[in-house]
Structure 1
């Protein structure tokens, strides 16, 4: 008897920018409320979505507000009231939301945020790096990162299910690189509207302000007798999110044919030298790896998808046989020792008895271009470290003028 082959869903072929793709995902999900304030390079997301509202394609309450702080405040209020709520921002917009990010997470409100990564001032810069989302990494939000437009679309749809799961109930930010993917047009496959609607389902919170049968308050003062227990519950929800993300990914594969995990391993099985990276530069790294593999070099990649919660155990297992590792941060940590991703990966590897030597590279700040030859340079440096046995400088800058 022949094995039955799974038939990949046909989907809808389109050519879209990352911003357009996310706006369409939001339209298909059909949230109840969408408060927004424009900021480059995420402005197109609420712009496109507001046109869907104006055209009557969705019945969402679109709320134009006076600032990003107000946008997240409105999202907190709407989600507390029982409405499925979404918004979008970038850079200083996320920074202006800072206070409300913590409130959304601690109140266990599964708001979904499209974050188009852009450098934080100053100096003023409108191009990509990860200083905005990395600055908010400890605010209690789940963080999902996207290499390309397809992943930005797919991740946003999955984010709703992850955040709203009864064992999670946390807000989620779905990140993509400003301009590099947000404005670049790529071929992608959309899912049928009805399939997306069935996948996310209706939002049916157990507790919400407009439920007259179960009166409640939100945002109340928490005294010392309870605060720590509530934070422990919040921490447990973040732990649960790792399991839930994998469960949701399995269901998503059934309607899309596309598989997702906590991270992606690219030619990592037998790699002597590897890099860990986030978002769009992973595509460039894959091209460099293909080129070097053709030359007989054993090089590979681990691309982080789920950064919060951080999959430390799984990363440790995936990298345990690598000889020398480069962790690539598109964000400066200003601790005089490296970036945030570098610190977390090093922490994950600490308990390995014979783990890889690790170098942390800062790259691509403020939109600095990352080319195939730049990635090759990193791998060549890793090989030199292996051959010499000397780690040298653990904290380095890539492609910066002296």
Structure 2
């Protein structure tokens, strides 16, 4: 059973977190994440949320508080954006490398400068090597559902890694959509209480947490962390299937394939611009063009094998639409991830990097149709090392 609501993305994030019954919440408000904290505080004041709410003076403190709670075996939640994420980076990195499972929402915002509060994915994309699992979602329903899924993934004994649920600021965080909110009973059926077996912190029995080790111990830590990230690939797919059986909604796990059966030209998308990409694919299918779309839901761990499986031998060219940049490559960040995945398995496809939506700019249907035109032309006349196209 569920109740249909009209919710902003931030409301969906707050309700999703509350349904998972966290023990401790600590968050500092920052645009466009602020109303996540406000909604959680209101639910707490109304007696609808029994978590311990901790008011902190900064994002660094917020992550430090939930880190301590996680060490004591608690289920925790926080949320942030942009400069707030940058300020919490030190304990943020430690959260993953100490293998403390939790969920944190990131309402994506472009990083300064020039000064901006508007949408972009540069904040979360820039920390993709911090050891966290990263989801990128398309709409407000997926925000709520992915937060619930993420706790089950993070707390799996083969994973034990914190999870970011990333959604585009303003385009999702502040806009209202229809969202089905499941009952507490159904969520409890899907997500059992958190009973960690790897946490031994007890004030009655003090221990040294995160002591300094030599290089051999660091090698062991990183090796185990990478193995857990790879184990998460199967866990993510399996949890999504289980979620679909329980709630009647699923998202494809690591990626969503859209009209890919006989596609010869493929667009990759990430985040809320996926809707415009699907509309463009539908228009071109009506014209008889064999085009398809792959929505990348999980940037870390990167779903290389799922992507390779989706790109059948009929695919002749690809285009990747990014809402962030890779400063070292003069392309979008996702474009480099996709091309590296293909190259690592000996698959060579001509591709174009498209960059748009920075600093709150929209990625429209016209942008997506222009991108498809460029990739169709590339398929007809393959060219490698083609220049990046800016969707401005």
In the superposition, the TM-score normalised over structure 1's length comes to: 0.93
1:273 to 243, 250, 265: 265
Cα distance in 1 for partners of 2:237, 2:186 equals: 19
1:315 to 307, 312, 318: 307
**Which has the larger displacement, 29-38 or 290-299?**
290-299
1:226 to 217, 220, 224: 217
Cα distance in 1 for partners of 2:344, 2:137 equals: 29
Cα distance in 1 for partners of 2:105, 2:341 equals: 28
1:60-139, aligned counterparts within 5 Å?
Answer: 60-139=51-130
Secondary structure, counterpart of 1:225 in structure 2: helix
CA contact (8 A) 1:208 1:216 kept: no
Residue 172 (structure 2) pairs with residue 186 (structure 1): no
* 1:389 Cα offset (Å): 3.3
Instruction: List alignment gaps of at least 5 residues for structure 2.
Output: none
CA contact (8 A) 1:320 1:355 kept: no
Cα distance in 1 for partners of 2:112, 2:203 equals: 45
Cα distance in 1 for partners of 2:202, 2:61 equals: 24
1:248 to 239, 251, 271: 239
Cα distance in 2 for partners of 1:250, 1:215 equals: 41
- Structure 1 residues 326 and 189, CA gap change in structure 2 (3 angstroms): same
2:135 to 138, 144, 147: 144
The residue number in structure 2 matching 1:6 is none
The residue number in structure 2 matching 1:196 is 187
- Count of residues paired in the alignment: 390
Secondary structure, counterpart of 1:165 in structure 2: coil
* 1:128 Cα offset (Å): 1.1
Residue 256 (structure 2) pairs with residue 264 (structure 1): yes
Deviations, residues 50-106 of structure 1 (Å, cap 9, x unaligned) = 111112212211111111111111111111111111100011111111111210011
In the superposition, the TM-score normalised over structure 2's length comes to: 0.96
1:362-401, aligned counterparts within 5 Å?
Answer: 362-391=355-384, 393-399=386-392
The residue number in structure 2 matching 1:21 is 12
Residue 346 (structure 2) pairs with residue 337 (structure 1): no
* 1:164 Cα offset (Å): 0.7
Deviations, residues 137-177 of structure 1 (Å, cap 9, x unaligned) = 00000001110001011000000010011111111000111
* 1:354 Cα offset (Å): 5.7
The residue number in structure 1 matching 2:157 is 166
Secondary structure, counterpart of 2:263 in structure 1: coil
Deviations, residues 91-123 of structure 1 (Å, cap 9, x unaligned) = 111111111121001100012101111101111
**Superposition misfits of 4+ residues, deviation over 6 angstroms:** none
**Which has the larger displacement, 287-296 or 276-285?**
287-296
Cα distance in 1 for partners of 2:233, 2:329 equals: 31
- Structure 1 residues 148 and 350, CA gap change in structure 2 (3 angstroms): same
The residue number in structure 2 matching 1:294 is 286
Instruction: List alignment gaps of at least 5 residues for structure 1.
Output: 1-9
Secondary structure, counterpart of 1:115 in structure 2: strand
The residue number in structure 2 matching 1:3 is none
* 1:210 Cα offset (Å): 4.2
* 1:25 Cα offset (Å): 1.1
Cα distance in 1 for partners of 2:180, 2:225 equals: 35
Secondary structure, counterpart of 1:226 in structure 2: helix
- Structure 1 residues 296 and 97, CA gap change in structure 2 (3 angstroms): same
Deviations, residues 246-288 of structure 1 (Å, cap 9, x unaligned) = 2211221122111232100001121111111101000011111
CA contact (8 A) 1:329 1:360 kept: yes
Secondary structure, counterpart of 1:53 in structure 2: helix
Give the aligned CA root-mean-square deviation in angstroms.
Answer: 1.6
- Structure 1 residues 390 and 230, CA gap change in structure 2 (3 angstroms): closer
* 1:21 Cα offset (Å): 1.0
Cα distance in 1 for partners of 2:217, 2:231 equals: 21
CA contact (8 A) 2:25 2:54 kept: yes
Deviations, residues 205-262 of structure 1 (Å, cap 9, x unaligned) = 1143544787643222122231101111111111111111122112211221112321
Residue 226 (structure 2) pairs with residue 235 (structure 1): yes
- Structure 1 residues 270 and 184, CA gap change in structure 2 (3 angstroms): same
